[in-house]
Structure 1
Amino acid sequence: MFFTYLRRELRRRRKAALVVASGLALGIALVIVVSSVSSGMSQAQDKVLQSLYGLGTDMTVTKAATPPGEGDTNRRRFEFDAKGDTDAEQSSDRVMVQGLQTLASSTVTEVGDQDGVAEAVGGLSLTVLKVNGEFKPGEFTPPEGGGRTGQGGTGGGEVRGGGAAFDVNSYTVFGTDVAAPALGPLTSSKITTGRTFQSTETDAAVAVVDSAYAKEKSLAVGKTVTISGTKFSIVGVATADSGDSAANLYVPLKKAQTLADSKDKVTTVYVKAADSQQIAGVKSAIQKNIPDTTVTTSADLAGTVSGSLSTASDLATTVGKWLSIAVLIAAFLVAGLLTSSAVSRRVREFGTLKALGWKSGRVTRQVVGEALVNGLLGGALGIALGLGGAYLVTAISPTLTAQLGSTGGGGGGLAGGGPMGGGGPGRQTASKALDIALTAPVSVATIGMAVGLAVAGGLIAGGFGGWRASRLRPADALRRVE
C-alpha cells in the first residue's frame, strides 16, 4: 500500500518532484566537481614533489652548505698543460659535489635505525663543469727595415693574433644506490629504452641518461659518455614523469663517489616512513638524534610551490569548498520549503486520509518517503552532472604552472636549472617551473559522499514536510470541502 501510493503520488506531481530533484542535483554536482578538482590538484602537487624526491620518499636528510672560505680546495680551478703542440685541443673536467657539504655514508644507517623509518638510502649529487678548447699562438711580425730584435738589434716588431677559445659545458650527475632502487629521484622517472641498474653493478661504469639530455647530446643505449676521463656505457634512457628530471645522468653511487673523490660520502639521504601519519614525529627524531642535519618533508616542500597550481589549489580548497557548502545548504532549504509548501497544498488530502484512519506517523512516513525518493533522484542527476563536469575538466586538461622555490635549508632535494649549477638534488638555492596538466579524478568515496548528500537532502526535505503533515487534523479537510 505504501509503495503503491508513493508511486502514484510521485507520478501525479512529476513537475514538483523534478524541481526538488534538480535543486539537489546542482548542489551535489558542484560538490563532486570541486572534490574531483581538489583531488586533481593534490595529484598534480604530488607529481611536482615526486620530481624532486622520487616516488615513495617522505623526507630527505641533508647538511646545509657553508660559504667557501679563503683557500677552499673546492673552488673551481682548471689547469692545462701548455707544453707540446699548442694547437691541440685542451680539455678538463671539474667534478663537484653540489652544495659542497656531504654526510658520511654511516649517516644512512643512523637514519634507517630511527623509530618510524621504514627505509633509508643515500645519494650523491654532482655537477660536472667541462672546459675544452685550444690555445692559438700569435704570429711575430718583424720590424720594418728588416732589423733584428734582441741583443744587438734595433728592436721593434710585434706579436699579432693568437689567444684562446674555450667552451664551458655543465651537466649534472646523480649517484644512486643500485642495491636499493625503491627510493630516490630515479624512481620518479620511467625507463623508456634499455634497462635500469642491476644490484650487481655497484661499482660498474654504467649510466642511465635522462631522455631530454640524451636527445640534446645525441646519446642512446649502447653509446658511451665520458666523465672526468672515465667512460660510462649507457644502459638505459629514463623519462621523468613530471617532464623535468632530477639529473642529466645517473651512475652507481660508489662510482660517483670515486669521480668526486668523496669516498663514503653522500649529499642526501632519502627516507621512507613506516607510517605516513607519523612523518612529523620521524622528522623530529632525526633532527634530535642526528645533529647538524636538515630534514625536509613533503609538507615543507609543498609550502614552496607557487604559481597557478598553488593559486588554483587555494581556490579549490577555500572558495570552492565554501561555495559548495553554501549551494548545498540553499538546495536543502529550497527542497525543504518546496516539500513543506506541497504539504500545505495537500491539506485536504491528508486530512481525508486521517479521517479514514491513517495515523500521523503513517502520513509523516508517506511524506518522508516521497522526499527521500526525490533526494535519490536528485542524487542520480547530480552524480551524472558531476561526472560530466569532471570529465570535461579532464578532457580540457588546463595547464597549471608550479614554481618551486628554495626551502632555505639544506636543499632537501630541490632541483633546479642554471647555467652553472645544473639541476640535481640537494641544491640549496634552486628553483624551477613545471607545467602540470590538471585532471579531475572521481573516486568511489566521492560517489559515496554524493549518495549520502542525496539521502540527507531527502531526509531534510521530508523532515520539513513530515513535521507540517503531522500537525494536520481531519477537521482541516472538512473546512475546505466545497
Structure 2
Amino acid sequence: MFFTYLRRELRRRRKAALVVASGLALGIALVIVVNSVSSGMRDAQGKVLESLYGLGTDMTVTKAAPPASEGGRERPRFNFDAQDGDEAQSSDIVMPQGFETLASSTVDEVGGQSGVATAVGGLSLSVIKVDGEFKPGEFKPREETANGGGGGGIGGPQGEVRGGGAAFDVNSYTVYGTDTTHLDLGPLTSSKITDGRTFKATETDAEVAVADAAYAKEKKYKVGSEVTVKGTKFEIVGIATADSGDAAANLYIPLKQAQTLSDSKDKVTTVYVQADDSQQIDAVKSAIQKNIPGTTVTTSADLADTVSGSLSTASDLATNVGKWLSIAVLVAAFVVAGLLTVSAVSRRVQEFGTLKALGWKSGRVTRQVVGEAMVNGLVGGALGIAVGLAGAYALTAVSPSLTAQLGAAAGGPGGGGGGGPAGGLVRAGGPGVPSADKAIEIALTAPVSASTIALAVGLAVTGGLIAGAFGGWRASRLRPADALRRVE
C-alpha cells in the first residue's frame, strides 16, 4: 500500500517533484565538479613537487650556502695558458649547485632518525664549460703601415700589432650525482626511461650517464653517445623523459663520479627522505632539525606554499570560492526543497485529513510524506551525479593549461641561491648570479573519485530527509476536521 500510494502521488505531481529534484541536482552537481577540480589541483601540484623531489620523497635535508661575503662560494675563475700560434682552449668548472655540501655520513644520520623509512643522498652540480681559441695579432712595420711615409724616426715606434683576439663559447648545464643502489628515491624517479635503460646497482662508480630527453634532443645525444665532463667520457645508457615536462637535471651520473669531478669526496648536497608514516612528517622534520644541527629540512607542504602562478590562483578559487559557493547552493537547494514540500503538504490538507478520518495515524501520514521526499532526493542525486560527471569529463577533455612557478627562496631543492636539483624549475646563471624562476605548464584534469560519488549520494539522502522532515512536521499537525471544513 505504501509504495502503491507513493508511486501514484509522485506520478500525479510530476512537475513539483521535478522542481525539487532539479534544485537538489544543481547543488550536488556543483559539489562534484568543485571536488573533482580540487582533486585535479592537488594532482597538478603533486606533479610540480615531484619534479623537484622525485616520486615518494616526503622531505629533503640540505644546508644553505652562505653568501660570498661571509666565506661562501666565490665566482668561478678560468685560467688559460698563453701559447704561440692559434691554440684551441677548453676548460670545465664543476661545482656543487645551490647548497653547501654535507658529509655523506649525514645520510646515515638522517636514516637513523625515528620515523624515517629511507634516506638517500644526491649531489647536484653545475658545469660551466668554456671553449674557444686565442689568435695572436700580426706585427706590421711602420713603413708598411704609413701612407708613403718612412720609418718612425730614431727611438720612435717601428710598427704596430694588428688583428688577433679571442673567441670563446660558454655552455652551462646541470649534472646530478645519483645513488645507483637506491633508484627508488630522488629526482630521477620523476622521469621515465623512454630509451635505453637506467643505472644498474653495480654501477656505483661507472662512467655511464642518463640524459634528459629535452637536453639529449638539443645536443643530439642518443643511447651509446659519449659526453665529456671535465675530461671524463661518459657513455649515455638511457634517455629519461620528465613526467612534468621539466627534468631535475640535464645529465645523471653515478654519485661517486659526481663527487670525483667536483672534488667533493664523501659529500652530498641533498638528502632525500621517505617517512614511515605520511601523517608523522612534521614530527620527523622536528627530530631531524633537533638531532642534526645546521641542516634545513623542507617538506612538500613547505614547497606547496611557495607555488605561484595560475595553478595557485585556480587552487585558491577552487578551495575557497568553490567550497563556499557549493555550500551556499546546497543550503539554498535544501531550504527550497523543504519549503516546496511544506507547500505541497499544505495543498493536500483535504487529502491527508480524509486519510486520517479513514483511520490513518499521524505517523503513517508522516512516513508517506518523508517517503515521497526521499524519492525526490534520490532522483535529484542521480541527476546531480550525471550532470557533475558530465562537467568533470568536459573539463578533463578540454584540459586547460595552468602555470606553476616555485619561488626561488623556497629553501628546498628548488630554492636558495643557485637553484637546487630542481634545475628545471629554478635555473641559475652561475654561482653568485640570482636564480630565475621558470614557470612550467600543467594540464588540469578533474578526476572523480568514489568518495566524491559517495558524498553526492549522502547529500541526496540528506536533502530528501530535510525536505521530508519539513513536510512530515506539517502533515503531522493536520486534523481530520480540517478536511471536513474544506469539503463543499
Q: Give the secondary structure class of the aligned counterpart of 2:221.
A: coil
Q: Which deviations, in whole Å up to 9, do the C-alpha atoms of 1:229-268 show, x marking residues without a partner?
A: 0000001111111111110000011110011111110000
Question: Which residue is equivalent to 2:417?
Answer: none
Alpha-carbon offset, residue 410 of structure 1? 6.0
- Given candidates 456, 471, 474, the residue that maps to 1:468 is 474
What's the counterpart of residue 294 of structure 2? Answer: 292
Does structure 1 residue 127 correspond to structure 2 residue 126? yes
**Kindly tell me: are residues 430 and 176 of structure 1, through their superposed partners in 2, closer, same or farther at Cα, counting changes over 3 Å?**
farther
Partner of 1:225: 227
Q: Secondary structure at the match of 1:181?
A: coil
Give the distance between the partners of 2:412 and 2:24, measured in 1 at CA. Answer: 51
- Does 1:33 find its partner at 2:33? yes
| Pairing partner for 2:274 from 263, 268, 272 | 272
Superposed CA offset, 1:175-217 (max 9, x none)? 0111001111110111111111110100000100001101110
Change in CA separation of 1:64 and 1:430 when aligned onto 2, cut-off 3 Å? farther
Q: Which deviates further from its counterpart, 306-315 or 94-103? A: 94-103
Tell me how far 1:131 sits from its aligned partner: 0.3
Find the residue that maps to 2:68 and give its secondary structure: coil
* Structure 1 position 309 matched with structure 2 position 311: yes
Does the aligned pair in 1 maintain the 2:91–2:130 contact within 8 Å? yes
Aligned AA (1:39) = S
Letter of the 1:49 partner, please give it.
L
Provide Cα deviations, 1:304-335, integer angstroms capped at 9, x if missing partner: 11111111100000010000000000000000
* 1:9-49 Cα shifts (integer Å, max 9, x gaps): 11111111111000000000000000000111111100111
CA distance in structure 2 between the aligned counterparts of 1:147 and 1:229, rounded to whole angstroms: 52
Q: For residue 153 of structure 1, report the CA deviation from its aligned partner.
A: 7.3
Alignment of 1:415-434 (within 5 A): 415=423, 416-418=425-427, 420-421=429-430, 429=435, 431-434=437-440
Aligned residues: 476
Report if the CA contact (8 A) 1:174-1:249 is conserved: yes
Return the alpha-carbon distance in structure 2 between the equivalents of residues 56 and 261 of structure 1.
30
Q: Does the Cα contact within 8 Å between 1:64 and 1:411 map onto a contact in 2?
A: no
When residues 72 and 443 of structure 1 are mapped into structure 2, their CA distance, relative to the original with a 3 A threshold, is: closer
Cα offset, 1:272, TM superposition: 0.7
Q: Is the 8 A contact 2:54 2:187 kept in 1?
A: yes
Question: What's the CA shift for 1:98?
Answer: 0.9
Partner of 1:436: 442
Residue aligned with 2:411, SS? coil
* Residues 1:264 and 1:364: Cα distance change in structure 2 (over 3 Å): same
| Alpha-carbon shift at residue 408 of structure 1 (Å) | 4.9
Q: 2:192 aligns with which of 190, 193, 197?
A: 190
Between the aligned partners of 2:377 and 2:286, the Cα distance in structure 1 is: 49
Alpha-carbon deviations, 1:54-84, whole Å to 9, x = none?
A: 111011000010123599785412122323x
| Root mean square deviation of aligned Cα | 2.0
Three-state SS of the structure 2 residue aligned to 1:168 is strand
Match of 1:367 in 2: 369
Rounded Cα–Cα distance in structure 2 between residues aligned with 1:123 and 1:357: 82
Of 314, 324, 331, the match for 2:333: 331
Alpha-carbon contact 2:385-2:453 (below 8 Å) kept: yes
Unaligned runs of 5+ in 1: none
After TM superposition, give the deviation of residue 407 of structure 1 in Å.
3.4
Cα deviation code 1:418-447 (max 9, x no counterpart): 46249xxxx995522111111100000000
- Does the 8 Å contact 2:428/2:435 carry over to 1? no
- Aligned residue for 1:454? 460
Change (3 A) 1:68 1:92: same
User: Which of 169, 180, 183 does residue 181 from structure 1 map onto?
Assistant: 183
Q: Which moved more, 1:93-102 or 1:442-451?
A: 93-102
Decide whether aligned partners of structure 1 residues 75 and 154 sit closer, same or farther in structure 2, where only a CA change above 3 A counts.
Answer: closer
Asked whether the equivalents of residues 408 and 429 of structure 1 are also in contact (C-alpha less than 8 Å), the reply is no
Greater Cα offset, 272-281 or 154-163: 154-163
Distance 1:398 1:71, change over 3 A: closer
Give the SS at the match of 1:263: coil
Residue 48, structure 1, aligned to residue 48, structure 2: yes
- TM-score under structure 1 normalisation? 0.95
How far, CA to CA, are the matches of 2:73 and 2:65 in structure 1?
15
Structure 2: segments with no counterpart, 5+ residues: 415-419
Identity %: 78
CA contact (8 A) 1:374 1:458 kept: yes
> Residue 57 of structure 2 aligns with which residue?
57
SS of aligned partner of 2:8: helix
Q: Secondary structure at the match of 2:61?
A: strand
C-alpha distance in structure 2 between counterparts of 1:154 and 1:355, whole Å: 136
What residue identity is the alignment partner of 2:130?
V
Question: What is the distance in 2 between the residues matched to 1:377 and 1:252?
Answer: 61
Contact 2:60–2:413 (8 Å) recurs in 1? no
| Aligned-partner Cα distance in 2 for 1:420–1:238 | 24
Aligned equivalent of 1:92: 91
Are 2:406 and 2:426, in contact at CA under 8 Å, matched by a contact in 1?
A: no
Give the aligned residue type for 2:370: V
Matched residue type, 1:131: V
Would you say the 8 A contact 1:221–1:235 is kept in 2?
yes
> 2-side partners of 1:71 and 1:320: how far apart?
50
Secondary structure (helix, strand or coil) at the match of 1:231 reads strand
| Shift of residue 481, structure 1, vs aligned partner | 1.0
- Shift of the alpha carbon at 1:141? 0.5
Instruction: State the distance in 2 between where 1:435 and 1:221 align.
Output: 28
Corresponding residue of 1:261: 263
Kept after mapping to 2: 8 A contact 1:92/1:132: yes
Q: Give the superposition deviation at 1:87.
A: 1.3
Shift in alpha-carbon separation, 1:363–1:73, aligned structure 2, 3 A: closer
Q: Residue 403 of structure 1 corresponds to which residue in structure 2? A: 405
Counterpart AA for 1:446:
T
Q: Which moved more, 1:309-318 or 1:63-72?
A: 63-72
C-alpha contact (below 8 Å) 1:365/1:466 kept by paired residues:
yes
Query: What is the one-letter code of the residue matched to 1:118?
Result: A
> Contact 1:411–1:428 at 8 Å: present in 2 too?
no
Contact (CA 8 Å) 1:351, 1:475: kept in 2 or not?
yes
Alpha-carbon distance between aligned partners in 2 of 1:239 and 1:315, rounded to the nearest angstrom: 32
2:88 matched to 1:82?
Answer: no
Change (3 A) 1:447 1:289: same
Shift of 1:149: 9.1
Q: Is the 8 A contact 2:39 2:447 kept in 1?
A: yes
